[in-house]
Amino acid sequence: MIKYITFLLPGYSNKPIGGYKIVYEYTNRLIADGYVVNIVFPIHLLWYSYGFLHKTKLIILFLISKVYKCCGIGKWFNLDSRAKLKLTWNLSEQEVPISDIYIATSIETAMELAKFNNINNNNKFYFIQGFENWGKFNEDKVFQSYRLPMKKIVISENLLDIVKSAGGIAELIHNGFDSNKFYISLPIKEKNKHSVTMLYHTSLLKGCKDGIDALNIVKKQFPQLKAIFFGKDSPSENLPPWIIFYKNPSPKKLNEIYNNSAIYIGTSHSEGMGLVIGEAMLCGAAIACTDIGGYKTLAKNRETALLSPIKDPQKLAANIIELIEDDELRFNLATNGNIYIKNFSWDVAYNKMKHILLSDSCNDGEGR
């Protein structure tokens, strides 16, 4: 009988990360269903990407966790207290709790899980939430990971196509969205059409500079334009006074930010599915975003969003301007998006995940 499930995350963080949020959502539901869930955070797996100060903090945290046998993820997510969190130095088989099912959540953890010799491959899963051709892994290495001997699960049609093109096989489970946390509190037609919001991130893959450049273009035509940014890290550049930034807003505050904006802009060059545009849709924002595979699950051009090429602030600005000038278009996109996003419920996502984990795994005891 399947009882113990272990998620392998690539590193420790107490700040909001989209992929971690999805893992924590599944963790809460699995625990509510009676499963024992471990979440493992290896310290050294992403060591190459950390600065000196961050490495020092991680070493201290690791030593503290060894003494007190616990660690936390911060207050940004309400994780069930019964989740068993473990900091390890690396991701060796000996340091990972004995479980019935093991779920890698990144290319780094999948590569390590593949080395576990005492675990049946039917008990190994690779949860793919993005095309991770960044860091130290090139496209060939990513494609190679999609052929590892473990079950693959993807979150979008775009990722499913990529895995198939690499010679792999995967199951598709769309991410769910929580309409109890994100909802319309200010009617679509009452939102200020000159108010725009955007997730700010220091990663170049998020394309935030393109978003700022686009908004500067729009500002010249509409001096009354206001923007609200939010994110886990403070901006690395000075923002103009008409852009307000909120660091790590609570879900309640984030719902307020989405509702106070008529338009949400997504500027990423690569996404797995696009969590934030889905949340904005639930709150009734019209979407202007980049034309990338990960967004297309939710963003249908001129149906639920306006799309523009990546790295093209001019085209993004033109779409924002069109949404400001055309009230009917803005209302229609926001309404269509709000209706469409409700097809992606957490109940559907969880039931499919549980079915795949339980039906595809060995049921003759522990994975090792």
Rounded (10°) angle between helices 275-282 and 327-341? 110
pLDDT of res. 361: 59
Percentage with pLDDT > 90 across the chain: 82
> Strand 36-42 to strand 84-88: parallel, antiparallel, or no bridges (unpaired)?
parallel
Would you place residue 207 in the very low, low, confident or very high pLDDT band (cuts 50, 70, 90)? very high
Tens-place pLDDT, residues 230-245:
999 888 778 999 999 9
CB 318 within 8 A of CB 308: yes
For 367, half-sphere exposure in the C-beta direction (CA atoms, 13 angstrom radius) is: 29
Element (H, E) at 45: none
Give the span between the Cα atoms of 38 and 30, in whole angstroms: 11
pLDDT at 179 over 60: yes
Which of 7, 29, 30 lies closest to 20, judged by CA?
Answer: 7
Tens-place pLDDT, residues 305-357:
999 999 999 999 999 999 999 999 999 999 999 999 999 999 999 999 999 99
pTM for this entry: 0.92
Domains by residue range for the chain, with CATH: 4-176+346-359 (3.40.50.11090), 188-341 (3.40.50.2000)
User: Which are the contacts of 54, defined by CB distance < 8 A and separation ≥ 6?
Assistant: none
Tokens representing 153 are 């699960």
pLDDT at 363 over 60: no
Q: Edge-to-edge strands of the sheet including 305-308? A: 243-247, 226-231, 195-199, 263-266, 286-290, 305-308
132-136, 143-147, 289-293: lowest mean pLDDT where? Answer: 132-136
